[in-house]
């Protein structure tokens, strides 16, 4: 299901507000999920990867780092929801190519505070310039 531009803008504003007045963890988990995907894409070709490489069980410790010693019992659904939000907000794009799904970075997160992007690039050890489809 694709979100309308109004739904996307509403969620983007919610995420942006959460960056300034941190009340919950879901937005942080969404950001960390996004940069986990960026890391896998950077290690691939800079803009795409297969979804199996950022399966919730593979990235759970990274996403939950600093919040829990071990990911909580519902981490799979939380990370899956983060991926779904990133997809519906058009930050990542799933495309079927040659019979398999490929995920492309479609655009950078536009709700981060000044300097946060660079902090996450450093935290996730992403040393290349990320490429985006922007479609």
pLDDT tens profile 38-88: 999 999 887 899 999 999 999 998 898 888 776 677 889 999 999 999 999
5-123 in CATH: which number? 1.10.10
Confidence of residue 21 (pLDDT cuts 50, 70, 90): confident
Q: What is the pLDDT of residue 67?
A: 82
Confidence of residue 135 (pLDDT cuts 50, 70, 90): confident
Domain positions in the chain:
5-123
Determine the Cα–Cα distance for residues 85 and 90; give it in Å rounded to an integer: 8
Q: What is the pLDDT of residue 71?
A: 66
The three-state secondary structure class of 28 is helix
Residue 131's φ and ψ, nearest 5 degrees, are: -110, 145
In DSSP notation, 15-83 reads HHHHHHS---SHHHHHHHHHHHHHHHHHHHTSSEE-GGGG-HHHHHHHHTTTT-SS--TTHHHHHHHHH
Q: What is the pLDDT of residue 24?
A: 78
Residue 114's φ and ψ, nearest 5 degrees, are: -55, 130
Digit-coded pLDDT (tens) for 85-126: 999 999 999 999 999 999 999 999 999 999 999 999 999 999
> Which tokens hold the place of 117?
């992007």
Q: What is the pLDDT of residue 133?
A: 85
């Amino acid at each position: 299901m694709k979100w309308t531009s109004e739904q996307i803008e509403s969620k983007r504003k919610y995420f942006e507000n959460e960056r300034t007045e941190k009340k919950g963890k879901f937005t942080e988990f969404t950001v960390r999920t996004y940069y986990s995907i960026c890391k896998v894409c950077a290690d691939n070709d800079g803009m795409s990867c297969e979804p199996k490489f950022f399966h919730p069980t593979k990235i759970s410790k990274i996403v939950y780092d600093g919040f829990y010693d071990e990911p909580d019992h519902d981490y799979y659904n939380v990370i899956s929801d983060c991926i779904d939000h990133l997809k519906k907000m058009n930050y990542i794009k799933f495309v079927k190519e040659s019979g398999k799904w490929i995920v492309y970075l479609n655009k950078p997160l536009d709700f981060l505070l000044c300097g946060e992007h660079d902090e996450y690039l450093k935290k996730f050890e992403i040393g290349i310039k990320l490429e985006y489809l922007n479609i």
